[in-house]
């Protein structure tokens, strides 16, 4: 068995090997613990056993473990330019045996492996059993909710490496907009403009699995904050964003009925 409190201590020791004064490292540490808290809340909302809640927290603690080494090697978090951070993470954990520092219980290794490997994928791979699928969905939802929160609070310029005005003058490509209207999340390969990327955050809601997450979005007004962070200067973009806002809010409200 593993003790989640001990796993937290191991994680704190692990990240000390990296430059914790680097804002990118600092952000990922903060993100990790925020995702842990969200995963715990989602798991608790499902009324599952404490051992499953602890496992959800361990998966959340380790879900971005590949990010730190990715940054050290490539000085970048862009998976398309470096490595898939989820695949890299499970390699570190299971090929390099890093998982053994966090848990001496090998019975849950397959669940941890599949949940972390699938947490950033466009869709969850087929073939997972019910328990594996539950944990994959928990970490995916917790990660998305925290990413929404981050996009609501962080300054825009560091996110896009452009000024707010430059972003506001851009447009949404037709392919991305049509994908959104079909209630689909947006493939990274489809995103051509920064506003395409911005829109992809709204589309997160179409891949959420648990009522708790929709309520969290409503209670924290994440969609309202995202929508109002930019002044959409192009008339077509402004009209499209109004449609996007209504579509998202209607979808969320349907899920919480």
Chain segment 101-131, per-residue pLDDT in tens = 999 989 999 999 999 999 999 999 999 999 9
Q: Say if residue 80's pLDDT is above 80.
A: yes
Query: 133 and 167 share a domain?
Result: no
Shared domain for 37 and 115, answered yes or no, is: yes
Are 73 and 112 found together in one domain?
A: yes
Domain that holds residue 74: 4-146
> pLDDT tens for residues 212-238?
999 999 999 999 999 999 999 999 999
Mean residue pLDDT across the chain: 95
Is 14 a member of any domain? Answer: yes
Whether the pLDDT of residue 11 is over 80: the answer is yes
> For the chain, what percent of residues have pLDDT higher than 70?
100
Phi and psi dihedrals of 247, rounded to 5?
Answer: -60, -45
In a domain, 89, yes or no: yes
Which ranges of 119-234 would DSSP assign to H, the alpha helix?
130-153, 156-160, 164-168, 174-181, 194-202, 211-220, 222-228
- Residue 78's pLDDT is what? 86
Domain check: are 172 and 140 in the same one?
no
The CATH number of the domain where 43 resides is what? Answer: 1.10.3210.10
Distance CA 193, CA 213 (A): 28
Q: Kindly tell me if the per-residue pLDDT of 159 is higher than 80.
A: no
The domain boundary, picked from 146, 180, 204, lies at: 146
Q: Tell me what pLDDT residue 162 has.
A: 87
9 shares its domain with 54:
yes
Q: What is the DSSP string of 100-150?
A: HHH-S-GGGHHHHHHHHHHTTSSSPPTT--HHHHHHHHHHHHHHHHHHHHH
State whether 94 and 180 are in the same domain: no
Per the structure, the count of domains in the chain is 2
What's the CA gap between 82 and 59, in Å, rounded? 23
- Type and span of the H or E element at 162: none
Residues 129 and 15 in one domain: yes
> Is the predicted pLDDT of residue 158 greater than 80, yes or no?
no
Query: From CA 193, how far away is CA 196, in angstroms rounded?
Result: 5
- Buried b vs exposed e over 55-79: b needs ≥16 C-beta within 10 Å? bbbbbbbbbbbbbbbbbeeeeeeeb
């Amino acid at each position: 068995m593993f003790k989640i409190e001990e796993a937290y201590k191991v994680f704190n020791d692990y990240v000390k090997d990296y430059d914790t004064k680097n804002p990118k490292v600092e952000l990922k540490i903060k993100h990790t613990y925020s995702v842990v808290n969200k995963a715990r809340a989602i798991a608790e909302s499902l009324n599952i056993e404490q051992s499953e809640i602890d496992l959800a927290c361990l998966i959340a603690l380790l879900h971005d473990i590949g990010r730190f080494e990715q940054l050290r090697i490539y000085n970048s978090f862009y998976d398309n330019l470096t490595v898939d951070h989820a695949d890299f993470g499970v390699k570190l954990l299971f090929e390099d045996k890093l998982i053994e520092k966090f848990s001496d219980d090998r019975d849950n290794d397959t669940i941890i492996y599949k949940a972390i490997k699938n947490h950033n994928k466009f869709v969850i791979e087929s073939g997972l059993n019910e328990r594996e699928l539950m944990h994959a969905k928990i970490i995916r939802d917790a990660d998305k909710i925290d990413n929404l929160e981050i996009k609501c609070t962080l300054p825009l310029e560091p996110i896009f490496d452009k000024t707010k005005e430059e972003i506001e003058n851009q447009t949404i490509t037709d392919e991305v907009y049509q994908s959104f209207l079909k209630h689909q999340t947006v493939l990274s390969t489809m995103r051509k403009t920064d506003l395409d990327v911005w829109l992809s955050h709204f589309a997160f809601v179409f891949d959420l699995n648990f009522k708790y997450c929709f309520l969290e979005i409503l209670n924290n007004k994440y969609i309202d904050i995202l929508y109002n962070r930019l002044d959409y200067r192009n008339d077509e973009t402004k009209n499209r964003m109004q449609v996007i806002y209504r579509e998202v809010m209607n979808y969320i409200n349907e899920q919480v009925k």
